[in-house]
Structure 1
Amino acid sequence: MTTTSPQIVASADGTPIAYESMGDGPPVILIGGAFNDRTTVAALAATLAPHVTAVVYDRRGRGDSGDNADTFAVEREIEDLAALIAAAGGRASLFGHSSGGILALEATAQGLPVERLAVYETPFVVDGLRPLPAEGTAEQIRAFVAKERRDEAVRLFLTEQVAVPAGMVDGMQASPAWPFLVGLAHTLPYDVAVCGADLALPADRLAKIGVPTLTMAGGASPAWFPAAAQAVAGAIPGASYLTVAGQDHGVLHNPDALREPLLTFLR
């Protein structure tokens, strides 16, 4: 799927947004989080595609998408989603992973024409279950990006914004996957903007969501992920929560684990 030339839709500010679709049935747009482009959600799309039209896209600044914005603003990414929904026929369901899930929540709360909404491990922090990012983290990440200190931007994002232990980040930095992460460093300010510098649950905005909503977290994830997912479900009228047994934040590497929960909900 990801080896073909993508289709392009223009966002409100003229930014070209690259996407691919496969399958047949109601459209569902899959939204990756930090360090994701359309290739990283392609396996999930293929898993769902026999039953829905699965749409994957490069969030702005990633892959084959451009970025005409001067600053990192959530509104631009919501406009990107609006353009994709229009291209998909005017209405679509959304699935978002991690910060991509927060983007999906925000877009739905702002009134985009969303049929159904599913999110996995939106990284809000509730009940003090993990340390908050140090003050000034967002500004420092932007400064590192501006100075092309990409490795430092990635490392700071992982240790402070995501609370990955420093020793684990050392191992990641020595792995073959590190260049891929560094290649997306310039997009990290978007993920910080989407999540909010303090990772606080926006209960008032979530309460505006009026479409069927499913929140999920992995049974093998740190406690703060399911706690946040349950809090999101509690803030959205009529939303439901599901634990995906045996999975953690890397569930996109095991898309079959999401197949039945998502197809059952989307049907």
Structure 2
Amino acid sequence: MNIEKAYATGYIVSTDGTKIGYRQLGRGPSLVLMHGGLQASQSLMLLATAMSDEYTVYVPDRRGRGLSGPLGENYSIRRECEDLGALLDKTGAQDVFGLSSGALITLHSALHLPSIRKIALYEPPLSITPVLNKFMPRYEREIAEGKIVSAFITIIKGLGISPLLNLMPRFIMLPFLKLATRYGKEPEGDVPLHELIPTFQDDDFLIRETAETFQTFENVSAKSLIMGGSKSPDYFKVIIGKLAAIMPGARSMEFAGLDHSGPDDGGKPAIVAEELRRFFRA
């Protein structure tokens, strides 16, 4: 898969006037990919490339990062859904894939945007499991103290999404990650990790804000595919099972050997792309 495949950039203006930038590549029916927490559009470029021979793929930078404007006043799930809606209006896209918090936004958008035909969700972080409650206070304290790398380690260990790093002591991880974030060079146009780490609190806000909305997902009319990885934490399996049970016509599936990063550039996006093709073609 060619990670250097050229892409164009563009932007739309959302309901509140915020500029939302995106990367675009490929040719064919329009498809939108929504990235998750600690990510920007750069994180889904391998998946976008894998889909681009059949689709015109749009990968927005969610507000507060990259090509897009700031969070703005009254940041909320509604704002995120308005951003996605504006992109759908411009591109004519009816199909959306979302990873993690991007899946949460996609799911809520499907409740309010009738133009959405199909949604594919990869491990949306619904609040029906109390994982974030255990580590967010420490993360927030570290962010406030400017300890960005320590906050990143707190996220990794708190979410439990990397079994190997989970076993590694903090005192070993800290100097290595400090060097990586200080001297690592990002490709032109990519958002550096040290800028993405503080945005995790925005994703946490969305999860908490939507905590009491689970029952509304029985009203999602878009055809839905809910995906996860066999190596992901058990709480994602609980979420996927409950969503599949409440959403009419939803189908769930598990990728053997994949974890929470399965669709992104650090995972195995080609495998996920194969399933997305089958789903969106049907």
Q: In structure 2, what is the equivalent of residue 57 of structure 1?
A: 60
Q: In structure 2, what is the equivalent of residue 219 of structure 1?
A: 230
Paired residues of 2:160 and 2:233 also in contact (CA < 8 A) = no
Q: In structure 2, what is the equivalent of residue 235 of structure 1?
A: 246
Judged with a 3 Å threshold, the aligned counterparts in structure 2 of structure 1 residues 4 and 163 are, in CA distance, closer, same or farther, namely same
- Rounded Cα–Cα distance in structure 2 between residues aligned with 1:169 and 1:84: 43
Paired residues of 2:88 and 2:94 also in contact (CA < 8 A) = yes
Judged with a 3 Å threshold, the aligned counterparts in structure 2 of structure 1 residues 177 and 86 are, in CA distance, closer, same or farther, namely farther
Please, which runs of 5 or more residues in structure 2 have no aligned partner?
A: 183-191
Q: Secondary structure at the match of 1:44?
A: helix
Query: Which amino acid in 2 is paired with 1:249?
Result: H
Query: Which amino acid in 1 is paired with 2:47?
Result: L
Q: What is the deviation of 1:201?
A: 7.7
Mapping of 1:179-198 within 5 angstroms?
A: 180-196=192-208
Q: Secondary structure at the match of 2:133?
A: coil
The TM-score normalised by the length of structure 2 is 0.80
Matched, 1:244 2:242: no
- Rounded Cα–Cα distance in structure 1 between residues aligned with 2:14 and 2:81: 9
- Rounded Cα–Cα distance in structure 2 between residues aligned with 1:106 and 1:81: 11
Q: In structure 2, what is the equivalent of residue 22 of structure 1?
A: 25
Q: In structure 2, what is the equivalent of residue 47 of structure 1?
A: 50
Taking only the aligned residue pairs, the percentage that are identical comes to 27
Query: Which amino acid in 1 is paired with 2:69?
Result: G
- Range that drifts further, 65-74 or 250-259: 65-74
Paired residues of 1:150 and 1:186 also in contact (CA < 8 A) = yes
- Range that drifts further, 70-79 or 12-21: 70-79
Judged with a 3 Å threshold, the aligned counterparts in structure 2 of structure 1 residues 68 and 119 are, in CA distance, closer, same or farther, namely closer
Q: Secondary structure at the match of 1:242?
A: strand
Q: In structure 2, what is the equivalent of residue 257 of structure 1?
A: 271
Please, which runs of 5 or more residues in structure 1 have no aligned partner?
A: none
Q: What is the deviation of 1:148?
A: 4.8
Judged with a 3 Å threshold, the aligned counterparts in structure 2 of structure 1 residues 132 and 43 are, in CA distance, closer, same or farther, namely closer
- Rounded Cα–Cα distance in structure 1 between residues aligned with 2:65 and 2:38: 9
Q: In structure 1, what is the equivalent of residue 134 of structure 2?
A: 134
Between Structure 1 and Structure 2, the one with more helix by share is: 2
Q: Secondary structure at the match of 2:219?
A: coil
Judged with a 3 Å threshold, the aligned counterparts in structure 2 of structure 1 residues 134 and 80 are, in CA distance, closer, same or farther, namely same
Judged with a 3 Å threshold, the aligned counterparts in structure 2 of structure 1 residues 23 and 132 are, in CA distance, closer, same or farther, namely closer
Q: What is the deviation of 1:157?
A: 3.9
Q: Secondary structure at the match of 2:242?
A: helix
The TM-score normalised by the length of structure 1 is 0.84
Matched, 1:204 2:215: yes
- Range that drifts further, 58-67 or 216-225: 216-225
Judged with a 3 Å threshold, the aligned counterparts in structure 2 of structure 1 residues 132 and 250 are, in CA distance, closer, same or farther, namely closer
- Rounded Cα–Cα distance in structure 2 between residues aligned with 1:239 and 1:194: 23
Deviation per CA, 1:185-217, whole angstroms, max 9, x where unpaired?
3322221122227x8584312111001000011
Q: What is the deviation of 1:159?
A: 4.1
Deviation per CA, 1:4-51, whole angstroms, max 9, x where unpaired?
562011111111111122222221110111111111101100001111
- Rounded Cα–Cα distance in structure 2 between residues aligned with 1:202 and 1:184: 27
Paired residues of 2:15 and 2:86 also in contact (CA < 8 A) = yes
Matched, 1:93 2:95: yes
Matched, 1:104 2:106: yes
Q: What is the deviation of 1:61?
A: 1.0
Match of 1:80 among 75, 78, 83: 83
Residues paired across the two proteins, number: 260
Q: Secondary structure at the match of 1:45?
A: helix
Paired residues of 1:72 and 1:193 also in contact (CA < 8 A) = no
Matched, 1:8 2:11: yes
Q: Secondary structure at the match of 2:117?
A: strand
